Chains A and B, each alone.
Chain A
Amino acid sequence: MPYAVTIDNLRKNYAGEHALAGVSFSIAAGSLAGIIGADGAGKTTLMRILATLISADAGAASVLSYDVNTQHRKIRAAIGYMPQKFSLYEDLTVWENLLFFADVFGVIGMERQRRLDRLMAFSRLGQAQDRRAGRLSGGMKQKLALSCALIHTPRLLILDEPTTGVDPVSRNEFWRILKDLQRDGITIIVSTPYMDEAEYCDTVLLLHRGGVLMQSTPAQAVERYPHALFRAESRAGTVRWPARAPAPRGARFVYPSGGALHVAADPQIVNEPALLEALREVMPEIETLHRIGPRMNDVLFSCYNAAGSAGPESAPPPAPAPGHAHNPLAMIRHAISQHRKGRP
Protein backbone atom coordinates (compact mmCIF):
# COMPACT_ATOMS: atom_id res chain seq x y z
CA MET A 1 0.00 0.00 0.00
CA PRO A 2 1.44 3.39 -0.93
CA TYR A 3 1.74 5.74 2.03
CA ALA A 4 1.23 9.49 2.00
CA VAL A 5 3.01 9.86 5.33
CA THR A 6 5.44 7.60 7.17
CA ILE A 7 6.95 8.50 10.50
CA ASP A 8 9.62 6.61 12.36
CA ASN A 9 10.46 7.26 16.00
CA LEU A 10 9.91 10.99 15.77
CA ARG A 11 11.07 13.00 18.79
CA LYS A 12 10.67 16.62 19.75
CA ASN A 13 11.47 18.38 23.02
CA TYR A 14 10.47 21.87 24.03
CA ALA A 15 12.70 23.33 26.71
CA GLY A 16 13.47 19.94 28.19
CA GLU A 17 9.90 18.60 28.07
CA HIS A 18 8.79 15.88 25.65
CA ALA A 19 6.30 17.02 23.07
CA LEU A 20 6.86 13.87 21.01
CA ALA A 21 8.58 10.95 22.68
CA GLY A 22 9.18 8.56 19.79
CA VAL A 23 6.15 8.48 17.49
CA SER A 24 5.88 5.97 14.63
CA PHE A 25 2.98 5.40 12.24
CA SER A 26 1.98 5.61 8.59
CA ILE A 27 -1.02 6.96 6.74
CA ALA A 28 -2.22 5.33 3.53
CA ALA A 29 -2.46 7.57 0.47
CA GLY A 30 -6.02 8.72 -0.13
CA SER A 31 -7.20 8.09 3.41
CA LEU A 32 -8.75 10.37 5.99
CA ALA A 33 -6.74 10.13 9.20
CA GLY A 34 -7.96 11.60 12.49
CA ILE A 35 -5.65 12.63 15.32
CA ILE A 36 -7.16 12.78 18.80
CA GLY A 37 -5.72 13.31 22.26
CA ALA A 38 -5.63 15.86 25.06
CA ASP A 39 -4.12 19.33 24.76
CA GLY A 40 -0.40 18.82 25.21
CA ALA A 41 -0.48 15.26 23.85
CA GLY A 42 1.61 16.34 20.84
CA LYS A 43 -1.00 16.74 18.08
CA THR A 44 -0.05 20.24 16.96
CA THR A 45 3.70 19.52 17.20
CA LEU A 46 3.27 16.46 15.00
CA MET A 47 1.25 18.36 12.40
CA ARG A 48 3.72 21.25 12.33
CA ILE A 49 6.60 18.84 11.72
CA LEU A 50 4.68 17.22 8.84
CA ALA A 51 3.96 20.69 7.43
CA THR A 52 7.73 21.44 7.74
CA LEU A 53 7.09 24.47 9.93
CA ILE A 54 9.31 23.09 12.67
CA SER A 55 11.86 20.31 12.61
CA ALA A 56 12.05 17.21 14.78
CA ASP A 57 14.95 16.59 17.15
CA ALA A 58 15.33 12.96 16.05
CA GLY A 59 13.61 10.33 13.97
CA ALA A 60 12.52 10.33 10.35
CA ALA A 61 9.39 11.45 8.55
CA SER A 62 8.45 11.46 4.91
CA VAL A 63 5.51 13.31 3.42
CA LEU A 64 4.41 12.32 -0.11
CA SER A 65 7.76 10.50 -0.35
CA TYR A 66 9.73 13.67 0.42
CA ASP A 67 11.96 13.95 3.47
CA VAL A 68 10.77 16.58 5.96
CA ASN A 69 14.34 17.57 6.82
CA THR A 70 15.79 18.02 3.36
CA GLN A 71 12.89 18.49 0.94
CA HIS A 72 10.65 20.94 2.71
CA ARG A 73 10.19 23.12 -0.38
CA LYS A 74 8.77 20.19 -2.32
CA ILE A 75 6.53 19.30 0.60
CA ARG A 76 5.22 22.83 1.05
CA ALA A 77 4.24 23.02 -2.62
CA ALA A 78 2.32 19.76 -2.39
CA ILE A 79 0.42 20.16 0.88
CA GLY A 80 -2.24 22.44 2.28
CA TYR A 81 -1.97 23.35 5.95
CA MET A 82 -4.62 24.94 8.10
CA PRO A 83 -3.37 26.02 11.56
CA GLN A 84 -5.54 25.89 14.62
CA LYS A 85 -5.72 29.65 14.99
CA PHE A 86 -7.65 31.49 12.28
CA SER A 87 -4.86 33.15 10.34
CA LEU A 88 -6.46 34.79 7.35
CA TYR A 89 -6.61 38.54 6.87
CA GLU A 90 -9.69 39.66 8.78
CA ASP A 91 -9.86 43.04 7.07
CA LEU A 92 -9.69 41.58 3.58
CA THR A 93 -12.84 40.20 1.97
CA VAL A 94 -13.40 36.53 1.28
CA TRP A 95 -12.50 37.05 -2.36
CA GLU A 96 -9.39 39.12 -1.56
CA ASN A 97 -8.10 36.45 0.80
CA LEU A 98 -8.48 33.83 -1.91
CA LEU A 99 -6.69 36.04 -4.47
CA PHE A 100 -3.90 36.68 -1.99
CA PHE A 101 -3.28 32.99 -1.37
CA ALA A 102 -3.49 32.28 -5.11
CA ASP A 103 -0.72 34.86 -5.67
CA VAL A 104 1.43 33.45 -2.86
CA PHE A 105 1.25 29.99 -4.40
CA GLY A 106 1.77 31.29 -7.95
CA VAL A 107 -1.63 30.27 -9.21
CA ILE A 108 -2.36 32.70 -12.07
CA GLY A 109 -4.37 33.39 -15.19
CA MET A 110 -7.09 31.08 -16.45
CA GLU A 111 -6.02 28.41 -13.98
CA ARG A 112 -6.63 30.78 -11.10
CA GLN A 113 -10.13 31.64 -12.29
CA ARG A 114 -11.01 27.98 -12.75
CA ARG A 115 -9.85 27.00 -9.28
CA LEU A 116 -11.50 29.95 -7.55
CA ASP A 117 -14.81 29.17 -9.26
CA ARG A 118 -14.55 25.60 -8.10
CA LEU A 119 -13.66 26.54 -4.51
CA MET A 120 -16.52 29.02 -4.36
CA ALA A 121 -18.93 26.38 -5.61
CA PHE A 122 -17.97 23.66 -3.16
CA SER A 123 -17.63 25.94 -0.12
CA ARG A 124 -20.86 27.84 -0.96
CA LEU A 125 -19.12 31.04 0.06
CA GLY A 126 -20.26 32.82 -3.12
CA GLN A 127 -22.89 34.95 -1.41
CA ALA A 128 -20.35 36.11 1.15
CA GLN A 129 -17.51 36.81 -1.26
CA ASP A 130 -17.49 40.56 -0.62
CA ARG A 131 -17.75 40.24 3.14
CA ARG A 132 -14.70 40.87 5.31
CA ALA A 133 -13.26 37.66 6.70
CA GLY A 134 -13.42 39.09 10.23
CA ARG A 135 -17.19 39.39 9.96
CA LEU A 136 -17.87 35.78 8.95
CA SER A 137 -19.46 33.28 11.34
CA GLY A 138 -17.21 30.61 12.86
CA GLY A 139 -18.27 27.95 10.37
CA MET A 140 -17.78 30.22 7.35
CA LYS A 141 -14.35 31.32 8.54
CA GLN A 142 -13.24 27.72 8.66
CA LYS A 143 -14.61 27.04 5.18
CA LEU A 144 -12.70 30.05 3.87
CA ALA A 145 -9.50 28.91 5.60
CA LEU A 146 -9.96 25.48 4.03
CA SER A 147 -10.52 27.05 0.61
CA CYS A 148 -7.30 29.05 0.97
CA ALA A 149 -5.42 25.88 1.94
CA LEU A 150 -6.76 24.23 -1.23
CA ILE A 151 -5.91 27.00 -3.70
CA HIS A 152 -2.82 25.23 -5.10
CA THR A 153 -4.59 21.85 -5.39
CA PRO A 154 -2.52 20.04 -2.74
CA ARG A 155 -2.32 16.25 -2.59
CA LEU A 156 -2.28 16.24 1.21
CA LEU A 157 -4.26 18.41 3.61
CA ILE A 158 -3.12 18.92 7.21
CA LEU A 159 -5.91 20.46 9.31
CA ASP A 160 -5.30 21.33 12.95
CA GLU A 161 -8.64 21.27 14.79
CA PRO A 162 -10.59 22.94 11.99
CA THR A 163 -13.98 22.51 13.70
CA THR A 164 -13.18 23.60 17.26
CA GLY A 165 -15.76 26.18 18.33
CA VAL A 166 -17.91 25.44 15.28
CA ASP A 167 -21.58 24.54 15.73
CA PRO A 168 -22.89 21.05 14.90
CA VAL A 169 -24.57 22.03 11.63
CA SER A 170 -21.48 23.77 10.26
CA ARG A 171 -19.30 20.90 11.46
CA ASN A 172 -21.50 18.49 9.58
CA GLU A 173 -21.14 20.54 6.41
CA PHE A 174 -17.37 20.87 6.89
CA TRP A 175 -16.99 17.10 7.17
CA ARG A 176 -19.11 16.56 4.09
CA ILE A 177 -16.65 18.78 2.22
CA LEU A 178 -13.73 16.74 3.59
CA LYS A 179 -15.38 13.53 2.38
CA ASP A 180 -15.81 15.07 -1.09
CA LEU A 181 -12.15 16.12 -1.16
CA GLN A 182 -11.15 12.62 -0.17
CA ARG A 183 -13.15 11.25 -3.09
CA ASP A 184 -11.07 13.51 -5.34
CA GLY A 185 -7.99 11.59 -4.13
CA ILE A 186 -6.65 14.02 -1.50
CA THR A 187 -5.15 12.51 1.65
CA ILE A 188 -6.37 14.31 4.76
CA ILE A 189 -4.90 14.46 8.26
CA VAL A 190 -7.20 16.20 10.71
CA SER A 191 -7.09 16.64 14.48
CA THR A 192 -10.32 17.00 16.42
CA PRO A 193 -11.66 17.19 19.98
CA TYR A 194 -15.01 15.75 18.82
CA MET A 195 -15.29 11.98 19.08
CA ASP A 196 -18.19 11.82 16.63
CA GLU A 197 -15.82 13.25 14.01
CA ALA A 198 -13.21 10.62 14.82
CA GLU A 199 -15.83 8.06 13.78
CA TYR A 200 -15.91 9.51 10.25
CA CYS A 201 -12.18 8.82 9.76
CA ASP A 202 -10.59 5.80 8.04
CA THR A 203 -7.92 5.61 10.70
CA VAL A 204 -7.68 7.21 14.12
CA LEU A 205 -4.48 7.99 15.96
CA LEU A 206 -4.68 8.60 19.70
CA LEU A 207 -1.72 10.57 21.04
CA HIS A 208 -1.01 10.54 24.75
CA ARG A 209 1.96 12.25 26.42
CA GLY A 210 3.88 12.43 23.15
CA GLY A 211 3.35 8.78 22.20
CA VAL A 212 0.84 6.79 20.14
CA LEU A 213 -1.62 5.11 22.48
CA MET A 214 -3.72 3.64 19.67
CA GLN A 215 -3.92 3.55 15.89
CA SER A 216 -6.91 1.80 14.46
CA THR A 217 -9.91 2.10 12.20
CA PRO A 218 -12.96 3.20 14.20
CA ALA A 219 -14.65 -0.13 13.41
CA GLN A 220 -11.67 -2.16 14.68
CA ALA A 221 -11.34 -0.01 17.78
CA VAL A 222 -14.94 -0.74 18.67
CA GLU A 223 -14.57 -4.44 17.81
CA ARG A 224 -11.53 -4.81 20.04
CA TYR A 225 -13.12 -2.99 22.95
CA PRO A 226 -12.12 -5.22 25.89
CA HIS A 227 -14.98 -4.55 28.33
CA ALA A 228 -18.69 -5.20 28.57
CA LEU A 229 -20.19 -1.70 28.44
CA PHE A 230 -23.38 -0.61 30.21
CA ARG A 231 -25.35 2.60 30.45
CA ALA A 232 -26.88 3.50 33.81
CA GLU A 233 -29.67 6.06 33.72
CA SER A 234 -32.32 7.83 35.69
CA ARG A 235 -35.50 9.25 34.21
CA ALA A 236 -35.25 12.12 36.66
CA GLY A 237 -32.28 13.64 34.82
CA THR A 238 -28.51 13.72 34.85
CA VAL A 239 -26.79 11.04 36.91
CA ARG A 240 -23.50 12.06 38.47
CA TRP A 241 -20.67 9.91 39.68
CA PRO A 242 -18.53 11.22 42.57
CA ALA A 243 -15.09 12.19 41.30
CA ARG A 244 -12.44 9.71 42.47
CA ALA A 245 -15.05 7.28 43.81
CA PRO A 246 -13.72 3.74 43.49
CA ALA A 247 -15.37 1.49 40.91
CA PRO A 248 -18.21 -0.48 42.51
CA ARG A 249 -18.15 -4.30 42.78
CA GLY A 250 -18.26 -5.93 39.37
CA ALA A 251 -17.19 -2.79 37.47
CA ARG A 252 -13.76 -1.90 36.15
CA PHE A 253 -14.41 1.84 35.83
CA VAL A 254 -17.29 4.30 35.64
CA TYR A 255 -17.54 7.68 33.92
CA PRO A 256 -20.32 10.14 33.06
CA SER A 257 -21.44 10.28 29.44
CA GLY A 258 -24.20 12.41 27.98
CA GLY A 259 -26.18 12.79 31.20
CA ALA A 260 -25.89 9.09 32.13
CA LEU A 261 -23.11 6.86 33.45
CA HIS A 262 -21.09 4.46 31.36
CA VAL A 263 -19.91 1.40 33.25
CA ALA A 264 -17.15 -0.85 31.90
CA ALA A 265 -17.22 -4.36 33.35
CA ASP A 266 -15.36 -7.64 32.89
CA PRO A 267 -17.21 -9.46 30.06
CA GLN A 268 -16.42 -12.88 31.62
CA ILE A 269 -18.03 -12.38 35.00
CA VAL A 270 -20.60 -9.67 34.51
CA ASN A 271 -23.76 -10.04 36.58
CA GLU A 272 -26.21 -7.32 35.60
CA PRO A 273 -28.55 -7.25 38.63
CA ALA A 274 -25.60 -7.29 41.05
CA LEU A 275 -23.89 -4.53 39.07
CA LEU A 276 -27.03 -2.36 39.17
CA GLU A 277 -27.29 -2.97 42.92
CA ALA A 278 -23.65 -1.98 43.49
CA LEU A 279 -24.10 1.21 41.42
CA ARG A 280 -27.25 2.13 43.34
CA GLU A 281 -25.37 1.85 46.62
CA VAL A 282 -23.31 4.84 45.48
CA MET A 283 -25.99 6.66 43.46
CA PRO A 284 -29.49 5.60 44.57
CA GLU A 285 -31.21 7.59 41.81
CA ILE A 286 -29.98 5.16 39.14
CA GLU A 287 -33.00 3.28 37.77
CA THR A 288 -31.94 1.34 34.71
CA LEU A 289 -28.87 -0.46 33.45
CA HIS A 290 -28.59 -1.78 29.93
CA ARG A 291 -25.83 -3.11 27.73
CA ILE A 292 -24.69 -0.78 24.94
CA GLY A 293 -22.16 -0.91 22.13
CA PRO A 294 -19.04 1.25 22.65
CA ARG A 295 -18.35 4.33 20.55
CA MET A 296 -15.10 6.24 20.05
CA ASN A 297 -15.66 8.18 23.25
CA ASP A 298 -15.77 4.89 25.18
CA VAL A 299 -12.73 3.58 23.34
CA LEU A 300 -10.87 6.69 24.46
CA PHE A 301 -11.74 6.16 28.13
CA SER A 302 -10.75 2.52 27.81
CA CYS A 303 -7.37 3.44 26.27
CA TYR A 304 -6.62 5.95 29.02
CA ASN A 305 -7.64 3.41 31.62
CA ALA A 306 -5.33 0.78 30.12
CA ALA A 307 -2.52 3.35 30.07
CA GLY A 308 -2.84 3.44 33.83
CA SER A 309 -4.43 6.84 34.24
CA ALA A 310 -7.96 8.03 34.59
CA GLY A 311 -7.07 10.52 31.91
CA PRO A 312 -4.47 13.08 31.04
CA GLU A 313 -5.71 15.64 33.53
CA SER A 314 -6.98 13.61 36.43
CA ALA A 315 -4.02 14.43 38.66
CA PRO A 316 -2.27 17.76 39.08
CA PRO A 317 0.65 18.06 36.68
CA PRO A 318 4.09 17.56 38.22
CA ALA A 319 6.26 20.59 38.78
CA PRO A 320 8.68 21.22 35.90
CA ALA A 321 12.39 20.65 36.27
CA PRO A 322 14.14 23.77 37.53
CA GLY A 323 16.09 25.84 35.06
CA HIS A 324 15.10 27.01 31.63
CA ALA A 325 11.68 25.33 31.43
CA HIS A 326 9.76 28.57 31.65
CA ASN A 327 12.40 31.06 30.77
CA PRO A 328 10.81 33.18 28.05
CA LEU A 329 14.17 34.23 26.61
CA ALA A 330 15.32 30.63 26.26
CA MET A 331 12.06 29.82 24.53
CA ILE A 332 12.45 32.71 22.08
CA ARG A 333 16.03 31.67 21.31
CA HIS A 334 14.82 28.14 20.79
CA ALA A 335 12.05 29.32 18.46
CA ILE A 336 14.47 31.42 16.42
CA SER A 337 16.91 28.53 16.03
CA GLN A 338 14.02 26.31 14.93
CA HIS A 339 12.93 28.93 12.44
CA ARG A 340 16.43 29.13 10.95
CA LYS A 341 16.71 25.37 10.72
CA GLY A 342 13.42 25.31 8.83
CA ARG A 343 14.62 27.79 6.21
CA PRO A 344 18.25 27.29 5.34
Chain B
Amino acid sequence: MKTTIETRDLSKRFGPHTAVDRITLSVYQGEIFGFLGANGAGKTTAIRMLCGLLEPTSGSGTVAGFDIIRQTDRIRSRIGYMSQKFSLYSDLRVIDNLRLYGSLYGLGKQALARRIDELSALLSLSPLHGRITGSLPWGWQQRAALACANLHRPEILFLDEPTGSVDPVARQTFWDLIQTLAAGGTTIFVTTHHMDEAENCGRISIMIDGRIAALDTPRALKERTGKPTLHEVFLHLVDPHSESLKERA
Protein backbone atom coordinates (compact mmCIF):
# COMPACT_ATOMS: atom_id res chain seq x y z
CA MET B 1 0.00 0.00 0.00
CA LYS B 2 1.29 3.41 -0.95
CA THR B 3 1.53 5.92 1.89
CA THR B 4 0.18 9.40 1.11
CA ILE B 5 0.45 11.04 4.53
CA GLU B 6 3.19 10.28 6.99
CA THR B 7 4.15 12.11 10.17
CA ARG B 8 6.86 11.44 12.72
CA ASP B 9 6.70 13.03 16.20
CA LEU B 10 4.92 16.02 14.69
CA SER B 11 4.49 18.75 17.33
CA LYS B 12 3.27 22.30 17.58
CA ARG B 13 3.65 24.50 20.62
CA PHE B 14 2.07 27.93 21.09
CA GLY B 15 4.09 29.50 23.91
CA PRO B 16 3.76 27.21 26.91
CA HIS B 17 0.82 25.35 25.35
CA THR B 18 1.45 22.15 23.38
CA ALA B 19 -1.38 21.91 20.85
CA VAL B 20 -0.04 18.88 18.98
CA ASP B 21 2.23 16.53 20.89
CA ARG B 22 4.45 14.14 18.88
CA ILE B 23 1.91 12.54 16.61
CA THR B 24 3.08 9.73 14.36
CA LEU B 25 0.77 8.26 11.76
CA SER B 26 0.61 6.90 8.20
CA VAL B 27 -2.36 7.17 5.87
CA TYR B 28 -2.61 5.03 2.74
CA GLN B 29 -3.74 5.96 -0.74
CA GLY B 30 -7.50 5.56 -1.19
CA GLU B 31 -8.06 5.19 2.54
CA ILE B 32 -10.78 7.02 4.44
CA PHE B 33 -9.00 8.07 7.60
CA GLY B 34 -11.13 9.47 10.44
CA PHE B 35 -9.21 12.01 12.54
CA LEU B 36 -11.32 12.25 15.71
CA GLY B 37 -10.95 14.07 18.99
CA ALA B 38 -12.64 16.37 21.45
CA ASN B 39 -13.07 20.10 20.73
CA GLY B 40 -9.69 21.67 21.38
CA ALA B 41 -7.73 18.40 21.21
CA GLY B 42 -5.49 19.78 18.43
CA LYS B 43 -7.11 18.37 15.28
CA THR B 44 -7.31 21.64 13.35
CA THR B 45 -3.71 22.56 14.26
CA ALA B 46 -2.54 19.18 12.98
CA ILE B 47 -4.50 19.54 9.74
CA ARG B 48 -3.09 23.02 9.16
CA MET B 49 0.44 21.62 9.49
CA LEU B 50 -0.35 18.81 7.05
CA CYS B 51 -1.74 21.30 4.53
CA GLY B 52 1.43 23.38 4.78
CA LEU B 53 -0.34 26.34 6.38
CA LEU B 54 1.46 26.16 9.72
CA GLU B 55 5.07 25.31 10.46
CA PRO B 56 5.63 22.52 13.00
CA THR B 57 7.67 23.26 16.13
CA SER B 58 9.37 19.88 15.83
CA GLY B 59 9.00 16.55 14.12
CA SER B 60 8.53 15.90 10.43
CA GLY B 61 6.02 14.77 7.86
CA THR B 62 5.28 14.25 4.21
CA VAL B 63 2.05 14.70 2.30
CA ALA B 64 1.76 13.26 -1.22
CA GLY B 65 5.50 12.60 -0.98
CA PHE B 66 6.45 16.22 -0.24
CA ASP B 67 7.94 17.65 2.91
CA ILE B 68 5.43 19.62 5.00
CA ILE B 69 8.08 22.18 5.99
CA ARG B 70 10.09 22.78 2.82
CA GLN B 71 7.72 21.84 -0.01
CA THR B 72 4.42 23.40 1.02
CA ASP B 73 3.73 24.82 -2.46
CA ARG B 74 3.96 21.37 -4.03
CA ILE B 75 1.62 20.01 -1.35
CA ARG B 76 -1.03 22.65 -1.87
CA SER B 77 -1.47 21.81 -5.53
CA ARG B 78 -2.03 18.15 -4.61
CA ILE B 79 -4.58 18.49 -1.84
CA GLY B 80 -8.18 19.65 -1.62
CA TYR B 81 -9.67 21.19 1.50
CA MET B 82 -13.27 21.53 2.52
CA SER B 83 -15.03 22.39 5.75
CA GLN B 84 -18.50 23.16 6.98
CA LYS B 85 -17.36 26.68 7.89
CA PHE B 86 -15.68 27.89 4.72
CA SER B 87 -17.73 27.09 1.73
CA LEU B 88 -18.55 28.65 -1.60
CA TYR B 89 -19.58 32.15 -2.57
CA SER B 90 -23.25 31.91 -1.76
CA ASP B 91 -24.39 34.74 -4.05
CA LEU B 92 -22.72 33.25 -7.12
CA ARG B 93 -24.25 30.55 -9.30
CA VAL B 94 -22.92 27.03 -8.90
CA ILE B 95 -21.23 27.18 -12.32
CA ASP B 96 -19.56 30.49 -11.42
CA ASN B 97 -18.13 28.95 -8.26
CA LEU B 98 -16.81 25.99 -10.24
CA ARG B 99 -15.20 28.31 -12.82
CA LEU B 100 -13.76 30.58 -10.15
CA TYR B 101 -12.16 27.74 -8.19
CA GLY B 102 -10.96 26.12 -11.40
CA SER B 103 -9.17 29.29 -12.50
CA LEU B 104 -7.70 29.75 -9.00
CA TYR B 105 -6.22 26.27 -9.35
CA GLY B 106 -4.79 27.33 -12.70
CA LEU B 107 -6.81 25.04 -14.95
CA GLY B 108 -6.96 26.06 -18.62
CA LYS B 109 -10.31 26.93 -20.12
CA GLN B 110 -10.87 23.69 -22.02
CA ALA B 111 -9.44 21.42 -19.35
CA LEU B 112 -11.67 23.18 -16.81
CA ALA B 113 -14.80 22.75 -18.92
CA ARG B 114 -14.06 19.03 -19.31
CA ARG B 115 -13.36 18.62 -15.62
CA ILE B 116 -16.57 20.46 -14.66
CA ASP B 117 -18.56 18.12 -16.93
CA GLU B 118 -16.86 15.10 -15.42
CA LEU B 119 -17.48 16.09 -11.80
CA SER B 120 -21.00 17.32 -12.53
CA ALA B 121 -21.85 13.89 -13.89
CA LEU B 122 -20.28 12.12 -10.93
CA LEU B 123 -22.08 14.33 -8.38
CA SER B 124 -25.32 14.86 -10.39
CA LEU B 125 -24.72 18.60 -10.33
CA SER B 126 -25.49 19.54 -13.94
CA PRO B 127 -29.15 20.59 -13.38
CA LEU B 128 -28.01 23.02 -10.69
CA HIS B 129 -25.31 24.93 -12.59
CA GLY B 130 -27.52 27.97 -13.08
CA ARG B 131 -28.81 28.15 -9.51
CA ILE B 132 -27.61 30.64 -6.91
CA THR B 133 -25.45 28.55 -4.58
CA GLY B 134 -26.85 30.02 -1.35
CA SER B 135 -30.42 29.19 -2.37
CA LEU B 136 -29.77 25.44 -2.44
CA PRO B 137 -30.39 23.04 0.44
CA TRP B 138 -27.32 22.26 2.49
CA GLY B 139 -26.63 18.86 0.95
CA TRP B 140 -26.49 20.29 -2.56
CA GLN B 141 -24.30 23.22 -1.53
CA GLN B 142 -21.93 20.73 0.04
CA ARG B 143 -21.96 18.66 -3.13
CA ALA B 144 -20.95 21.76 -5.11
CA ALA B 145 -18.21 22.47 -2.55
CA LEU B 146 -16.97 18.92 -2.94
CA ALA B 147 -16.82 19.42 -6.70
CA CYS B 148 -14.83 22.66 -6.27
CA ALA B 149 -12.36 20.96 -3.93
CA ASN B 150 -11.83 18.23 -6.54
CA LEU B 151 -11.38 20.29 -9.71
CA HIS B 152 -7.58 19.96 -9.70
CA ARG B 153 -7.72 16.18 -9.06
CA PRO B 154 -6.18 16.30 -5.60
CA GLU B 155 -4.54 13.13 -4.34
CA ILE B 156 -5.74 13.88 -0.83
CA LEU B 157 -8.93 15.54 0.37
CA PHE B 158 -8.94 17.13 3.82
CA LEU B 159 -12.47 17.39 5.15
CA ASP B 160 -12.67 19.35 8.41
CA GLU B 161 -16.10 18.68 9.91
CA PRO B 162 -17.81 18.58 6.52
CA THR B 163 -21.16 17.59 8.00
CA GLY B 164 -22.07 19.70 11.00
CA SER B 165 -25.73 20.36 11.08
CA VAL B 166 -27.57 18.07 8.72
CA ASP B 167 -30.02 15.29 9.06
CA PRO B 168 -28.85 11.68 8.86
CA VAL B 169 -30.22 11.10 5.36
CA ALA B 170 -28.33 14.01 3.81
CA ARG B 171 -25.17 12.96 5.67
CA GLN B 172 -25.59 9.44 4.32
CA THR B 173 -25.75 10.76 0.76
CA PHE B 174 -22.67 12.88 1.34
CA TRP B 175 -20.73 9.90 2.68
CA ASP B 176 -21.69 7.88 -0.33
CA LEU B 177 -19.95 10.51 -2.47
CA ILE B 178 -16.88 10.43 -0.22
CA GLN B 179 -16.72 6.66 -0.60
CA THR B 180 -17.02 6.97 -4.38
CA LEU B 181 -14.04 9.35 -4.44
CA ALA B 182 -12.01 7.05 -2.18
CA ALA B 183 -12.83 4.07 -4.39
CA GLY B 184 -11.36 6.11 -7.27
CA GLY B 185 -8.07 6.39 -5.37
CA THR B 186 -8.44 9.73 -3.56
CA THR B 187 -7.24 9.62 0.03
CA ILE B 188 -9.77 11.10 2.47
CA PHE B 189 -8.64 12.64 5.74
CA VAL B 190 -11.77 13.62 7.65
CA THR B 191 -12.74 15.02 11.05
CA THR B 192 -16.22 14.60 12.43
CA HIS B 193 -18.14 14.60 15.69
CA HIS B 194 -20.71 12.18 14.28
CA MET B 195 -19.59 8.77 15.50
CA ASP B 196 -21.92 6.96 13.10
CA GLU B 197 -19.94 8.57 10.26
CA ALA B 198 -16.67 7.50 11.83
CA GLU B 199 -17.87 3.90 11.53
CA ASN B 200 -17.54 4.36 7.74
CA CYS B 201 -13.80 5.05 7.97
CA GLY B 202 -11.17 2.45 7.18
CA ARG B 203 -9.21 3.49 10.24
CA ILE B 204 -9.65 6.22 12.83
CA SER B 205 -7.45 7.97 15.33
CA ILE B 206 -8.70 9.56 18.53
CA MET B 207 -6.76 12.59 19.70
CA ILE B 208 -6.70 13.64 23.35
CA ASP B 209 -4.81 16.73 24.56
CA GLY B 210 -2.61 16.86 21.46
CA ARG B 211 -1.69 13.17 21.47
CA ILE B 212 -3.04 10.26 19.50
CA ALA B 213 -4.55 8.04 22.14
CA ALA B 214 -5.83 5.31 19.82
CA LEU B 215 -5.45 4.42 16.15
CA ASP B 216 -7.04 1.40 14.50
CA THR B 217 -10.03 0.16 12.52
CA PRO B 218 -13.43 0.92 14.07
CA ARG B 219 -14.00 -2.80 14.59
CA ALA B 220 -10.67 -3.37 16.37
CA LEU B 221 -11.25 -0.37 18.66
CA LYS B 222 -14.70 -1.65 19.60
CA GLU B 223 -13.35 -5.12 20.29
CA ARG B 224 -10.41 -3.86 22.31
CA THR B 225 -12.53 -1.62 24.55
CA GLY B 226 -15.48 -3.99 24.69
CA LYS B 227 -17.88 -1.22 23.65
CA PRO B 228 -20.64 -1.80 21.07
CA THR B 229 -20.39 1.55 19.24
CA LEU B 230 -17.70 4.11 18.43
CA HIS B 231 -19.73 6.66 20.38
CA GLU B 232 -19.13 4.66 23.54
CA VAL B 233 -15.51 3.95 22.59
CA PHE B 234 -14.99 7.70 22.31
CA LEU B 235 -16.61 8.44 25.68
CA HIS B 236 -14.61 5.63 27.26
CA LEU B 237 -11.26 6.84 25.93
CA VAL B 238 -11.69 10.60 26.21
CA ASP B 239 -13.51 10.74 29.54
CA PRO B 240 -13.21 7.40 31.36
CA HIS B 241 -15.22 8.73 34.31
CA SER B 242 -18.18 9.72 32.20
CA GLU B 243 -21.15 7.46 32.00
CA SER B 244 -23.37 7.67 28.98
CA LEU B 245 -26.85 9.01 29.68
CA LYS B 246 -28.24 5.61 28.70
CA GLU B 247 -26.22 3.79 31.36
CA ARG B 248 -27.28 6.30 33.94
CA ALA B 249 -31.01 6.06 33.16
Contact = CB atoms under 8 A, between A and B. Distances in A.
Interface of A: 36-41, 84, 137-139, 161, 164-173, 175-176, 179, 193-196, 199-200, 235, 237-238, 240, 243, 255-260, 297, 300-301, 304, 310-314, 316-317, 319-320, 325-326, 328
Given A176-B248, A235-B219, A238-B201, 15 more contacts: A38-B138, A39-B139, A39-B166, A164-B165, A169-B242, A194-B194, A196-B231, A238-B202, A243-B173, A255-B172, A259-B218, A300-B167, A311-B170, A312-B137, A316-B127
B71 interface: no
B229 A316 contact: no
B193 A238 contact: no
B199 interface: yes
Contacts of B170: 38-39, 311-313
Interface stretch (B3-11, B37-45, B58-66): B37-45
B173 A311 contact: yes
A217 B195 CA distance: 24
B167 A312 contact: yes
Contacts of B194: 194
Contact of B168 (A41, A84, A195, A238): A195
Interface centre among A139, A173, A237 (most CB of B within 10 A): A237
B173 A168 contact: no
Contacts of A172: 235, 239, 242, 244-245
Interface stretch (B18-26, B99-107, B128-136): B128-136
Contacts of B199: 238, 258-260
A161 B165 contact: yes
Nearest to A165: B164
A240 B235 contact: no
B118 interface: no
B175 interface: yes
Contacts of A310: 169
Nearest to A173: B242
A297 B196 contact: yes
A22 to B, nearest CB: 21
Nearest to B238: A169
Interface in B199-240: 199-202, 217-219, 229-231, 234-235, 238-239
Contacts of A165: 39, 84, 161, 164-165, 193
Contact of B169 (A84, A258, A301, A325): A301
B231 A168 contact: yes
A301 B172 CA distance: 11
Contacts of B235: 168-169, 172
B45 to A, nearest CB: 13
Nearest to B136: A317
A328 B135 CA distance: 11
Contact of A238 (B165, B179, B229, B239): B179
B128 A39 contact: no
A312 to B, nearest CB: 6
B124 interface: yes
Contact of A300 (B91, B166, B168): B168
